[in-house]
Chains A and B, each alone.
Chain A
Amino acid sequence: MEHNNGLPKKNPLSLQLDLKKFSAAQFEKATDEEKRQQDVMSESTTFFKDGMRKLSKNPLAMGSIVVLLLILVGILILPSIVPYQYDEILSVNGKRDKSAKNLAPFTYSEMEQKYIEEGGSRFPHIFGTDEQCRDYFVRVIYGTRISLAIGFFASLIVLIIGLIYGSISGYIGGRTDLIMMRIVDIIYSLPDMLVIILLSVVLNETLKFPSGSFLSKLGTNMISLFVVFGMLYWVGLARLIRGQILSIKENEYVLAARTIGAKPTRIIRKHILPNCLSVIIISTALQIPSAIFTESFLSFVGIGVKAPMPSLGSLANAARSGLQSYPYKLIFPALMICLIVLSFNLLGDGLRDAFDPKLKR
């Protein structure tokens, strides 16, 4: 206190301030209630809400969602509106319409024109027809349906196998992890095209489906494609999930769960998987277009879906022969592939930006 002795008794503050502007009421103690009013806790947001908010601000991702939804609604509803079947050879009044070959979009064949002149009504061929006199629009829609379904189910197979394999490998770690990851390395090194071709040959011999069932309509090539997806393409996801789990495992909350006495299955289910969820969603969203691409490619080279079942790839393949005369027959399915793949990729990127915790501000 010694150096305070020289100060005048009067409070020096009164020299710096006009004390008259204050009133005694201002110096009353504030109540807890008044204090609390100043103290606002920020609005409650969950991880999911926050991610969706960010996603909704991304115009490309939102656009992709709209496009994908439109496509989805289209392939579900349109086949019941358009009165043609994907394998239906056009006929008028029960008579085969041989003139309806390779029609341009929105044109009618001679028989159809005659029929319309006679007062009948005919649904327009929006994309024209193919060389076997089938409505091309319906075929493209069915092709999209098949391609999307294959993309979706293939991704699902990949997801399930990759998830289980990756979680086990990552969680147990040590020697188990080492061995499991070497197996992954071996699978990675197999040339997938070769395996698909070999498998489809082998399965063609061995697999017999009752004729008329959906599986036989798809054809063995497609089944082998699923098998190949199941066998080969999960490795990427398994690696990704293993890496995620290895890093999540280091978090103290996993240790905390062990301290509480939680068993490994509970820890994986309750703590680890929910925290890899964003990575799983993102990689699945990116897996779908790659599966569609592979399917299209295989159908294009002729080992995809079995005719007459169309897929976008096989449609493109069929259009190859008449490319110079009927370019639109290639453009429609190709455009569809582009649209789907692009939308999924953009959506996947958007999801990553919105949900990946590593990219947080």
Chain B
Amino acid sequence: MSDVLVDVKNLKQYFPVKTGFFKTLPLKAVDDVSFSIAPGETLGLVGESGCGKTTVGRSILHLYKPTGGEVFFEGEKVTADNIQMMRRKMQMVFQDPYSSLDPRMTVEDIIGEPLDVHKLCSSRSERRERILYLMETVGLNAEHARRYAHEFSGGQRQRIGIARALAAEPKFIVCDEPVSALDVSIQAQVINMFEDLQEKLGIAYLFIAHDLLVVHHISRRIAVMYLGKIVEMAEADEINAHPQHPYTVSLLSAVPIPDPDIARSRKRILLEGDVPSPLKMPSGCAFRTRCRYATEKCAESCPSLTDRGNGHFVACFNQ
């Protein structure tokens, strides 16, 4: 088990949704998702909004009580009882740098909160020293420790959020779309910082994003989600060069590449229609309603994630 830090097994997360006065339907936000992350590795998780990628991240941290399945961290099962301790080692960076920082707290208190909660510092001076060290690590000016979060720009706020996540020295961070709310010119700073921190501290990331180029840049492996299920998972380069699931293929072709010649010469494979409502999931393969290769078999049963060699997992009946 030494090469696995986080092991997610058949994670299920259903939310009850009231559809009528008495009727509640389960919304299958995450349905039978399994993957594992090695220490110091980055797994990219991509998918469109509503596909359940954020829910996966939050379920791992037990922010929701999983409906089914298990999460193991360093071989130990994560349960409601030990999660408080586990949260020292598993942290999260949020998408929105504006709402994820308490507007009534100073930067110092925000970054120091994990230290206070877990009582990691014995004295005030030690706490302050540690906070200043963290601020320096993420490239913030230590003079600004007493300022409030709203005085900073988006990129700086995201740095504060990262410093907070780092405070308790975690081994694993769930990064929930950490750059998508930032300006283009700032994104690279934050991506680079994630990469630097990984090199320096050996932290593993679950990097959730919808921007395939960003995910490809930062991740070693990528998992593609569609309607609560992982449809394809492989090495980042492999998935980019040889996508096998029809959804991945069209997703990749839809990414706007910032290069006029390439962008205009390649063929976009447009998907028909919209993502079906997760409350009215199609039978069998969830993607079949938009898939060009859908057959009768796809409507009857759901393909499972199978290895097609070289650790390239695909959930599709078509070869």
Contacts and interface: CB of A to CB of B under 8 A. Distances in A.
Main secondary structure of the interface of A (DSSP, over half): helix
Interface in B279-311: none
Nearest to A42: B151
Contacts, number: 76
A253 B100 contact: yes
A53 interface: no
Interface in A248-262: 251-253, 255-262
A261 B88 contact: yes
- Interface centre among B61, B113, B147, by most chain A C-beta atoms within 10 angstroms, is B113
A260 B164 contact: yes
B290 to A, nearest CB: 31
A190 to B, nearest CB: 29
Interface in A8-41: 41
Given A253-B101, A275-B102, A260 B87 contact: yes
Chain B residues touching A, range: 20 to 34
Contacts of A274: 102, 104-105
Contacts of B83: 261
B58 to A, nearest CB: 8
Nearest to B84: A261
A271 B117 contact: no
Interface residues of A, number: 25
Interface string B41-71: 0000000000000000010010100000000
B102 A271 contact: yes
B163 interface: no
Given A259-B63, A263-B117, A275-B102, 8 more contacts: A44-B146, A44-B148, A255-B94, A256-B161, A261-B85, A262-B113, A271-B104, A277-B104
Interface of B: 58, 61, 63, 83-85, 87-88, 91-92, 94-96, 99-105, 113-114, 117-118, 146-148, 150-151, 161, 164, 168
Interface of A: 41-42, 44-47, 251-253, 255-263, 266, 270-271, 274-275, 277, 357
19 contacts: A41-B151, A45-B151, A47-B104, A252-B94, A253-B99, A253-B101, A253-B102, A255-B58, A255-B63, A255-B94, A255-B100, A257-B113, A260-B87, A260-B113, A260-B117, A261-B83, A271-B102, A271-B105, A357-B103
